[in-house]
Chain A
Amino acid sequence: MAKSRSTQSRDPNKRVRPASWQIFMVSFFLLYMLVPIISTYVFSVATRWDRTILPEGYTLEFYKRAFAASYFTITLRNSLILSLATILVSLLVIVPTVYWVHTRLVGAKPLLDILMILPFGIPMVVLALALVQVYNFPPLARSPTLLIGAVVIYSMPFMYRPVSNAIQAVDAQVLTEAGQSLGANVFQVLYRIIIPNILPGILSGSLLVFSTVFAEYTLTSLIVGAKFKTFPLLLVEFTRINGNVASAFSVISFTIAWLVSILILWVGSMGNTKRTKTIRAR
């Protein structure tokens, strides 16, 4: 018995068959993840879906109403502004900090690691109310700027982890010294050597931040509310009015998040094509 198993695993052509409980677990997990998404998609085009297993009819009516909603473009624009601004700010804060700690202040790394978990430990409601109370003076009070600040804090771990791992992997210290010995200053080292080499980390960080911030509700509603309405706010508003239209909004939101993800990945692969091309050419 033991012998046959070991020969099986050594033979690369023979695949190990998953046990039935494994198949069951995986299918259960997939269903658990996919059913809500699929039903959201279906619900957004269903005429009536409460008396039958499948909807009684299909319509694009709810999309029409979604696109026609008075705030549609503005909330979409606000959400994009918020996500992109957050990515920009956290890149500007995180990348130099992580680089600095990895090259000059290695002892501080454990501290930074802990610091970067903290945002997970603070309930968002507490964070929002605290910020609103402390920064209660104009021009910051309840402003989009304050919101960006809050969202940057809360999404920081998502940017920090991938960037930190990427820098860890390239031996930034030696590359920096090599650059310096060739006459480059800190900015040239960062721009020409470090950033291109940690681009995959930067991109996956940006992706994570985008998808979290694009769907952000709590901080936005508590800090700015109606003054700077974002897409999730509009969506929640519509769940109270019409579930089908809210579903249509969800689908639109998913789609945008996917498109942006693909866009970011595509931009990232642009940086790599040069490399792969020459590899193929060899």
Chain B
Amino acid sequence: MAYLELKNVNKYYAGVAAVHDFSLDIEKGSLVSFLGPSGCGKTTTLRMIAGFEQLDSGTIRLDGNDIVPVPPNRRDIGMVFQSYALFPNMTVRENVAFGLEMKKTPKAEIKKHVDNVLEMVRLQDTAKRFPHQLSGGQQQRIALARALAVQPRVLLLDEPLSALDAEVRVVLRGEIRRIQSELAITTVYVTHDQEEALSISDKVVVMNKGLIEQVGAPEEIYRAPNTRFVATFIGTANQFLGKTSGKNMVVCNNVELFTNSLTDFKTDQPVVVLVRPENIQVQAEQSRQKGWNSIHGEVETITFHGAITRLGVNVNGQRVVADITVANTQPVSLNQKLWLQFPPEACQVMVVEE
């Protein structure tokens, strides 16, 4: 049985579902991310776990016990807020000690504990400062230390890094992951930054409009998206709309694509074929490999992204994006005609609901 278990959780605001039929198992000691666009219900779900929001229906079990009737201050669930929410009237040490004081921990033990967690977040020497004397990144570390000091059963983080700049964000997410695995603390991490979710999670929950779209390990979510939403929300994917034709061919408006076996589909079924830009090889000349797709187009845009360069290629009126690395391709120029080649395995076929 999972450690934290949400079952058929529903939450409505004014009759509109913010979270709909949400069921999820979270293993003890794992880090699970909620990922999705703004307004998809991530915060609402997190707040229901914390106890700040009531469920309209469903259950939440922690370690086998129903926690829905338990008030937030007795759930033993720690939370890190987007705005840090440090207590401005207390020093860093007092902030971190607060939860332990509420637990009536003996003084000497509190001191030892606070020193420990401050060391964990590498901010021992700020103990006597007040929150407003710290940088944003430091404040968020203290918020993390404060939540960890009481050794909660579950740690919840709601976009903890979104108020920080890119560099600090990358460092801190690494720290969070390091501390999380060191303590083996069950963690739910809310973010709308896919890179963040993919890089630190054991499991990613992709949400859209209050519904779970897919749950899986980061690689799984990226390589084998279940839905068109996941495929386009995580990373970039070219979409070719068309109809199945034969065992392994999809006829689109402007191209015909070879795909893996289509035995799961009816003939003439409307489908969408998804192809990730990094799976497309760009060639000046057609060097057809057996069974590969090979489509002709003209370069319309070239965008430099550092490690890769992204090409926007016009293929019979449809824009197809392909990534090239400087190392393994010749330079490409605007309006150049070239060939885009990719194997059938690079094509993911999904039914289009009409």
Chain A: residues with CB nearer than 8 A to chain B? 170-171, 174-175, 177-185, 188, 192-193, 196-197, 275, 278-279, 281-282
Residue in A179, A181, A197 whose CB lies within 8 Å of B88? A197
Whether B258 sits at the interface, judged by CB under 8 Å, is no
Give Cα distance in the complex from A196 to B91, angstroms: 13
Which residue, of B73, B77, B81, B99, has the highest number of chain A Cβ atoms within 10 A? B73
State the majority secondary structure of interface residues on A: helix
Contact check, B88 vs A177: say whether CB atoms are below 8 A apart.
no
In the complex, A169→B300 CA distance in Å? 52
Asked if B81 and A177 sit within 8 Å, CB to CB, the answer is: yes
Once the chains bind, are B130 and A183 in contact (CB under 8 Å)?
no
- Decide yes or no: A278 and B91 within 8 Å by CB, A177-B52, A177-B85, A184-B73 being known contacts: yes
Contact B88 A170 (CB under 8 A): yes
Residues of the A chain whose Cβ atoms lie less than 8 Å from the Cβ of B79: 177-178, 181
| A94 to B288 alpha-carbon distance, docked (Å) | 80
> Which of A181, A188, A278, A281 lies in contact with B78, CB distance below 8 A?
A181
Residues of B with C-beta under 8 A to A275 = 89, 130
CB distance from A227 to the nearest CB of B (A): 44
Please provide the chain B residues from 76 to 120 with a CB less than 8 Å away from any CB of chain A in the complex.
76-79, 81, 83, 85-89, 91, 98-99, 102-103
- Nearest chain-A residue to B94 (Cβ)? A192
Chain A nearest CB, measured from B297 CB (Å)? 51
Within 8 A of A (CB), among B49-94: 50-52, 71-74, 76-79, 81, 83, 85-89, 91
- On chain A, the residues within 8 Å of B52 by CB distance are 177, 180
Whole-angstrom distance between the Cβ of B250 and the nearest chain A Cβ: 51
Give the most central of A181, A197, A282: most B CB within 10 Å. A181
Question: Given known contacts A182-B78, A278-B91, what 8 new A-B pairs fall within 8 Å (CB)?
Answer: A179-B98, A182-B147, A184-B102, A185-B73, A188-B102, A192-B87, A275-B130, A279-B130
With A177-B72, A197-B88 as given contacts, are A171 and B77 in contact (CB-CB < 8 Å)? no
5 residue pairs A–B, Cβ–Cβ below 8 Å:
A175-B87, A182-B78, A182-B99, A183-B102, A192-B87
Contact B85 A182 (CB under 8 A): no
- The residue on B at minimum CB distance from A193 is B87
Known contacts A177-B52, A178-B79, A188-B102, A183 near B73 by CB under 8 Å? yes
Q: Which of B50, B83, B87, B103 contacts A183 (CB 8 A)?
A: B103
Q: Are A193 and B81 in contact (CB under 8 A)?
A: no
Is B150 on the interface with A (CB-CB < 8 A)?
A: yes
